[in-house]
Amino acid sequence: MRFSRFALIASFAASLALAAACDHHDEDNEPFDTFQACFDDHAKSEGFGPQEAIKICCLDHGIGTPPVGPNVVCGETQSACETYVNANLADADAPAADITAACAGYLTDRTM
């Protein structure tokens, strides 16, 4: 009896945690006026590394006014992604190697 009560409470708590995580992700797909603002939010406010912040902005957010859609804004090729990110991100925020790796990851995740 005691174990089943514990299991019920644990499953309820897990359900709440999962729902909260899903809700945050849905809210997190809001568009940003600039790629830099998106990057700053994810890298500087939320603590993601440069590569992950770049991928999040490329995959999950519309950028600009009106926004270019998520999963499109960074282009369809490695070269287009790198060119876009280099042009729209302060040089000090991510070294070239991080941009290259982030764009490769974006293209891999984009096709899934």
pTM: 0.75
Q: Are 81 and 106 in contact (CB under 8 A)?
A: yes
State the pLDDT at residue 23: 34
Asked if residue 66 has a cis previous peptide bond (ω within 30° of 0), the answer is yes
pLDDT mean for each 10 residues of the chain (112 residues): 48 41 52 97 96 97 93 96 97 95 96 69
pLDDT in tens, 20-50: 333 334 456 899 999 999 999 999 999 999 9
* Runs of H (alpha helix) within the chain: 2-27, 35-39, 50-60, 78-88, 96-110
Q: Burial, 95: exposed, middle or buried (Cβ in 10 Å; 0-12, 13-18, 19+)?
A: exposed
